[in-house]
Amino acid sequence: MIDYKNSGSIGWESPSNIALIKYWGKKGNQLPCNPSISMSLKNSLTRTVLSYEPKGNGDQLSFLFEGKRQVSFEQRITKFLGNLSDHFKFLTDYQLSVSSENTFPHSTGIASSASAMSSLALCLCSMEEEISGVKMAEDEFYRKAGFIARLGSGSASRSVYGGFVAWGESNSFSKSSDEYAVPFSKYTHPVFLDFQDAILLVSSKKKEVSSSAGHQLMENHPYASARFAQANKHFERMLGVLRSGDLEEFIEIMENEALSLHGLMMNSTPSFTLLKPNTLELIERIRSYRLSSNVPVGFTLDAGPNIHLLYPKSEKERVVPFIDSELSQFLENGKYIVDEKGEGPQKIKM
């Protein structure tokens, strides 16, 4: 029997992700200028609950973030939902209450738009299934969720899957698409299976440049075409590395990507220097520790000063004492967040 529903509640928790090859520059309707690849996290999640009922006279959306009304998020989500009528025809007939919370603090170098928009997109796809009574095939469901998440925030498209996830067309990955993300995990070398990410908090101040404003900086950037060519090459090499397990090359590409991103921001007009003196101190210490110890540990950065320190779990017993003894003195209140590669979003049992 088909189960048509008029009202209900759906919940999804979805991870943030850290990009190894960066998406920086977009075109058209939220399409990337180059392919990117990320690792989905395990502990840094957004939990979103979406309740729906037939539309009455009230507002279409009420939105609570961590129990409180947040007007700026509400406006962003209202705009996002307003653009989805071609993909979810039913949406305008319903009134939605969305409530979400993060398992991680704000402004920590953890991309909250990725986890937030992906969890909301997953809720909307589940709502479509409930209302229509038609279940999508599993791969179709996640592809649509990634497509919808992308319209909310590009990097969110990668968060609908666990492990390593690619987004953006590339000749070196035949399944890749600009429209949605594709999981890469099933091809990865065992050394990456339990990869760790320690997020080192240099500063928890609000970002100086929003991602959207950052992407715009690439529109007239003098190095734009060289950057997109570099990202394509890095993407292709990174896919090879994820298969081969060559950690030296992995670290070389990952660090080059992080510093290229910041280099592009520094010589943009206007220019942004988001690296702090302590970020540079940490980078030097990580590099010299790697040289002297031979421990394969490397860093990457988002559009902010905080460092993501990536390494295989087998090195945890050496890396954690290194963070505690050498790096924590340069961190805000000595703090860092322990995370690792995760398995992707989970539907919450309601």
HSE-CB for 148 with a 13 A CA cutoff: 28
Alpha carbon dihedral 202, 205, 209, 211, in 10-degree steps, equals 80
Residues 5, 177: Cα–Cα separation, whole Å: 33
Task: Give the tokens for residue 272.
Answer: 């942004």
User: CB of 335: closest distance to ligand DP6 in angstroms?
Assistant: 21
Residues 293, 306: Cα–Cα separation, whole Å: 23
Task: Give the tokens for residue 197.
Answer: 């990410």
Task: Give the tokens for residue 80.
Answer: 């996002």
Q: Which is nearer to ligand DP6, 53 or 179 (CB)?
A: 179
User: CB of 24: closest distance to ligand DP6 in angstroms?
Assistant: 6
Contact (Cβ atoms closer than 8 angstroms) between residue 144 and residue 136: yes
Residues 62, 114: Cα–Cα separation, whole Å: 20
Residues 35, 181: Cα–Cα separation, whole Å: 10
User: CB of 70: closest distance to ligand DP6 in angstroms?
Assistant: 17
User: CB of 201: closest distance to ligand DP6 in angstroms?
Assistant: 17
Collapsed DSSP state (helix, strand, coil) of residue 336:
strand
Q: Which is nearer to ligand DP6, 81 or 303 (CB)?
A: 303
Q: Which is nearer to ligand DP6, 36 or 185 (CB)?
A: 36
User: CB of 215: closest distance to ligand DP6 in angstroms?
Assistant: 5
Q: Which is nearer to ligand DP6, 143 or 215 (CB)?
A: 215
> Quick one: CA dihedral 182, 260, 232, 311, positive or negative?
negative
User: CB of 181: closest distance to ligand DP6 in angstroms?
Assistant: 11
**Given the rule CB under 6 A, which residues bind ligand DP6?**
19, 22-24, 30, 36, 111, 113, 153-155, 211-212, 215, 261, 302-303
Q: Which is nearer to ligand DP6, 25 or 312 (CB)?
A: 25
Q: Which of 253, 270, 10, 13 is nearest to 118 (CA)?
A: 13
> Quick one: CA dihedral 258, 200, 339, 109, positive or negative?
negative
> Quick one: CA dihedral 211, 23, 272, 229, positive or negative?
negative
Q: Which is nearer to ligand DP6, 76 or 285 (CB)?
A: 76
Alpha helices by DSSP H, listed for 17-111, are: 71-82
Q: Which is nearer to ligand DP6, 236 or 315 (CB)?
A: 236
User: CB of 18: closest distance to ligand DP6 in angstroms?
Assistant: 8
